[in-house]
Chain A
Amino acid sequence: MQDISYNKRFEYNWDVPFKVTLGESYFRFLDGLKNKKILGNICPKCNGLHVPARPFCDKCLVEITKWYETSGIVTIESFSVTYVKFLGLPDPPHITGIVRAENAVTSFLHQIGGIPYDEPKELDEKTKIGMKLKPVWAEKRIGDIQDILYFTPVDA
């Protein structure tokens, strides 16, 4: 057993605010959320639909300029149910997943909710890859990815 009698720690913390510029694409995407719209954009070179909209196609390295409004319905690519409490995360059980809008070439991370259960572990079976989800919107929307509170099964 290691001697920890001198395991004394000096505590400090970083509390440093940052402000990143949005640029046009992210501004329009986030502004769309305020109006309950999930916007994508289409690469002029590979025709790849990008959702969320983004300034450049990372594959073709060209600027994306053509806008597209999705239906808001997404499909689960994968997910994970969190069963323990993590700092800053909602109380468990809590589901996050990778979802894809329509036939987009990009997917994105979001929360999945509104799936009923008796025992938390049922969520692993009740949440399914390939499941179709719709957005549940915040009452007050500010132009942030969290204007979508979570995605929930379309038939919920």
Chain B
Amino acid sequence: MDRKVAVVGVGNTSYTSAKRETRERTEVSADCIKAGFDFVGKGLSMDDVDSIFYASVDAFEGVQRPDRSMDCLGQSLNKATFFVHTGGTAGGSAFKEAYHSVKSGLCDIVIALGASTTSATVEAQQILNSASPPLIEKPFGAGAIHMAGYYLMRYKADYNITAEDFAMVAAKSHKHAVNNPYAHIRKGFTVEEILASPMVCSPIHLYEICPVSAGATCVIMASEEKAKELSDTPVWIKAIDSISNTFLAGYRPFTSFYKLEILAKRVYEKAGIKNPLEDIDYAELFNPFAGFELLEYEALGFCDKGDAPKLVRDGITDYGGKLPCTLSGGTLCTNSGISASMSRHAETVLQLMGKVEGGRQVKNAKTGIAHSWGGNMGQFHTLCVLSV
């Protein structure tokens, strides 16, 4: 059955620092869903929704199965609710599960919600460490930043990547976040400021690291028939998939995001993408550590290995370039946990709908991609191709 599935609505709450968050956790999700319904309009409400997919990481929220505690998901209305948790990629995975439910014909209208995951967390690195294999890796206290350090240090050594290369791609995100009303850090740090910021875990400077944010993102999906009723600008899901790696980091070569390379080939084939740089008009990539964006360009086939900094220097991936990437400011500027892995999809959808605020709207964007990364030392990736 070839049933088309579209995103018809996007909901964002405001984003702030997790430490400054004053909203109770269920309020954030409720606001997010309301924003999604308001975006669609046409009287759409929870009564019309068949299923809700809630993506988070329970340990961060300090509650097991935190979806259960979110009454705003329609429990009182007898809705089917599901908890999706694949670590940092959970937003991308929930998006995929929501898609499956409509694609299969079982549901017509569904919501995927990327939770404001980290506002209850006192020490995020402690939780991240609890995701490591307990016998072999956990005792060394590695958090996400150390894992990122291993990838980026190796990349730096293998291809003579400079500190400035990393700072330039970070500055691109900071520059655009200033114009994104849904970004948390909107300081516009320059290359010089980034290089002058303290080295936290080499080769990563402070301003190349995401903040701990609060705020949630959701998308509303519909079958073709419903999508045409609900939206004048539906964005169709052309292809989506995810990929896994082993739990123990041991099998990974830290030389590239090679799993993303495999995934990209798989997804591009389904979507009919032959030359990514020509065929894709917009990309939202997962960059909690700024340098990741460079590894992602290479894994996604935008350029050869080691050439990603050149794409940044030539402005190819900046606003006005051939393939603008992560003009939201990305996860680097806003990371409220799992929300950040669904924001990638939400932002791409807004770009394709032509509804991006803040002067970041790419002209005539027809095909976009959204990516997420997560799990112990990059255990999972998800990738989605969207088009109008």
Contacts and interface: CB of A to CB of B under 8 A. Distances in A.
User: Do chains A and B interact in one complex?
Assistant: yes
Interface of A: 2-4, 6-7, 12, 14, 18, 20, 22, 26, 30, 50, 52, 54, 58-59, 77-84, 86-89, 96-98, 105-111, 121, 124, 129, 144-146
A61 to B, nearest CB: 11
Contacts of B151: 78
B251 A109 contact: no
Contact of A82 (B126, B137, B153, B200): B200
A18 to B, nearest CB: 8
Given A3-B22, A54-B248, A109-B142, A80 B201 contact: yes
B179 to A, nearest CB: 20
Contact of B246 (A58, A82, A84): A58
B200 A87 contact: no
A99 to B, nearest CB: 10
26 contacts: A3-B22, A18-B134, A58-B246, A58-B251, A59-B251, A77-B154, A78-B151, A80-B153, A80-B201, A80-B202, A80-B204, A81-B202, A83-B201, A86-B125, A86-B143, A88-B129, A98-B249, A106-B250, A107-B250, A107-B252, A108-B137, A109-B136, A111-B140, A129-B153, A129-B157, A146-B139
B136 A7 contact: no
B20 interface: yes
Task: Find the residue from B21, B126, B200 having the highest chain A CB count within 10 A.
Answer: B200
B20 A80 contact: no
Contacts of A144: 139
A78 B254 CA distance: 7
B141 A106 contact: no
Nearest to B19: A7
A78 B253 CA distance: 10
Interface residues of B, number: 41
Interface string B238-259: 0000000010111111100000
A121 to B, nearest CB: 7
B203 interface: yes
A108 B247 CA distance: 12
Given A30-B135, A52-B136, A108-B136, A14 B62 contact: yes
A7 B22 contact: yes
Instruction: Return the 4 tightest CB-CB contacts between A and B, nearest first.
Output: A80-B149, A106-B250, A78-B154, A78-B150
A83 B146 contact: no
B16 interface: yes
Given A4-B20, A30-B135, A80-B149, A110 B201 contact: no
Interface in B7-23: 16, 20-22
B105 interface: no
Contacts of A22: 135
B150 A98 contact: yes
Contacts of B141: 86, 88-89
A97 B150 contact: yes
Given A82-B201, A83-B198, A129 B143 contact: no
B184 to A, nearest CB: 12
A129 B154 contact: yes
B139 A105 contact: no
B196 interface: no
A6 B22 CA distance: 7
A12 B121 CA distance: 11
